[in-house]
Amino acid sequence: MKNQLTIWERGEPFKGKYDIDEVLENNTGLTIVMFDPKSNDIIRLVYDAMVFAYKSIDESIAINTLESFSQRYDLNFLMNNTFFEVRDSGFSLEIENDSCGSVHAKDLFHMKILGRNAFMDIISFGEPKLVIARNNNEFV
What does the DSSP assignment read for 103-129? Answer: S-GGG-EEEEEE-SSEEEEEEESSPPE
User: How confident is the model at residue 80, as a pLDDT?
Assistant: 86
The helix (run of H) or strand (run of E) holding residue 75 is helix 75-79
Averaged pLDDT for residues 4-18? 78
* Residue 17: CB atoms within 10 Å: 19
Q: What is the pLDDT of residues 88-126, one digit of tens each?
A: 999 999 999 999 989 999 999 999 999 999 999 999 999
Q: What is the pLDDT of residues 47-71, one digit of tens each?
A: 998 999 999 988 777 777 878 887 8
User: How confident is the model at residue 138, as a pLDDT?
Assistant: 61
